[in-house]
């Protein structure tokens, strides 16, 4: 992995990123909620890009990883704008977006803004609209009232917070209720033992996207992370199909 660099936003936010140059569309990896570019899937794709002379860009959203800022200020809109600012500043030509979990929701927002530069999208347990279907009415009411929601975290000792600002912004970013005007090739990977995002969500996303070039791969024994060796191999094969 290369040393991290930093892109300075207009308000002085420092967005950490790693980049390698190469051929073909630039792969831009969008991590999940409270995740960063040091994760296993991001690292594997970056190393694969380096090995095959492909362009790749990893980043940490503000408030995550090595980027500056407070996680409590994070929203889909804020993180979308950071991704687009990095692409504008650091990437030439077409872009291949790879979004994991929440990153799969963010992938749609970034993809809509990229327009003709969008070469393709790969979703890994993509979770668009998760603040709607992933929370109970009581939890949604808590967030709508301006309170922080804390949930058990299966991946660490500290509870996972959802902040009311994130929730309020997400309410304006729902995408599964109507057609998503994206026509590029799309590959969606989802484990059928995913305890966080129902695998049917990828089917819902496939139906909502305008593109006719969509393939959904269901991994019967796959969990939410899809980070086993065979899962990473499936992801790498999906990426390779765009080069």
- With respect to residue 79, please indicate whether it lies within any of the assigned structural domains: yes
Told to judge if 231 belongs to the known catalytic residues of this protein, a careful annotator would answer no
CATH number of the CATH domain containing 107: 3.40.50.1820
- With respect to residue 150, please indicate whether it lies within any of the assigned structural domains: no
From the list 62, 67, 100, 101, the catalytic residue is: 101
Written as six digits, the tokens of 230 are 């065979």
How many Å apart are CA 97 and CA 121, to the nearest integer? 5
Told to judge if 36 belongs to the known catalytic residues of this protein, a careful annotator would answer no
Q: What percent of the chain has pLDDT over 90?
A: 96
- With respect to residue 111, please indicate whether it lies within any of the assigned structural domains: yes
Cβ–Cβ < 8 Å for 98, 29: yes
In the chain, DSSP finds a helix count (H) and a strand count (E) of 8, 10
- With respect to residue 141, please indicate whether it lies within any of the assigned structural domains: no
With tokens 């970013």, the residue in question is: 173
From the list 35, 100, 129, 224, the catalytic residue is: 224
Q: Compute the average pLDDT of residues 83-112.
A: 98
The whole-angstrom distance between residue 43's C-alpha and the CA centroid of its chain comes to 14
From the list 60, 129, 194, 231, the catalytic residue is: 194
- Give the pLDDT score at 162: 97
Told to judge if 52 belongs to the known catalytic residues of this protein, a careful annotator would answer no
Q: Compute the average pLDDT of residues 172-201.
A: 98
DSSP-derived secondary structure letter, 147: P
* Strand partners for 118: 95
Phi, psi dihedral angles at 240 (to 5 degrees): -60, -25
- Give the pLDDT score at 154: 79
DSSP-derived secondary structure letter, 103: H
Domains in the chain, number: 1
Written as six digits, the tokens of 44 are 């594997």
- With respect to residue 194, please indicate whether it lies within any of the assigned structural domains: yes
- With respect to residue 221, please indicate whether it lies within any of the assigned structural domains: yes
Q: Compute the average pLDDT of residues 17-32.
A: 97
How many Å apart are CA 69 and CA 12, to the nearest integer? 10
Q: pLDDT for 145-168, tens place per residue?
A: 999 999 988 777 889 999 999 999
- With respect to residue 197, please indicate whether it lies within any of the assigned structural domains: yes
- Which residue segment(s) compose the domain that 104 sits in? 5-135+179-240
- With respect to residue 152, please indicate whether it lies within any of the assigned structural domains: no
């Amino acid at each position: 992995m290369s040393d991290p660099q930093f892109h300075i936003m207009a308000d002085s936010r420092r967005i950490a990123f790693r980049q390698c140059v190469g051929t073909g569309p630039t792969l831009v990896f969008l991590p999940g909620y409270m995740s960063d570019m040091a994760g296993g899937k991001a690292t594997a794709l970056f190393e694969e890009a380096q090995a095959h002379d492909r362009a790749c860009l990893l980043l940490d959203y503000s408030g995550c990883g090595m980027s500056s800022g407070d996680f409590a200020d994070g929203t889909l809109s804020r993180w979308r704008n950071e991704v687009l600012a990095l692409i504008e500043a650091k990437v030439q030509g077409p872009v291949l977006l790879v979004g994991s979990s929440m990153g799969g929701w963010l992938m749609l927002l970034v993809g809509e803004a990229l327009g003709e530069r969008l070469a393709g999208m790969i979703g890994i347990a993509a979770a668009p609209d998760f603040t709607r279907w992933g929370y109970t009415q009581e939890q949604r009411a808590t967030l709508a009232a301006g309170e922080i929601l804390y949930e058990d975290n299966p991946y660490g000792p500290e509870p996972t917070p959802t902040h009311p600002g994130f929730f309020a912004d997400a309410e304006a970013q729902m995408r599964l209720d109507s057609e998503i005007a994206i026509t590029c090739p799309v590959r969606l990977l989802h484990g059928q033992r995913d305890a966080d995002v129902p695998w049917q969500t990828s089917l819902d996303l496939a139906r909502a996207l305008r593109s006719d070039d969509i393939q959904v791969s269901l991994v019967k024994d796959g969990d939410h992370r899809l980070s086993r060796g065979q899962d990473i191999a499936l992801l790498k094969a999906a990426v390779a199909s765009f080069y």
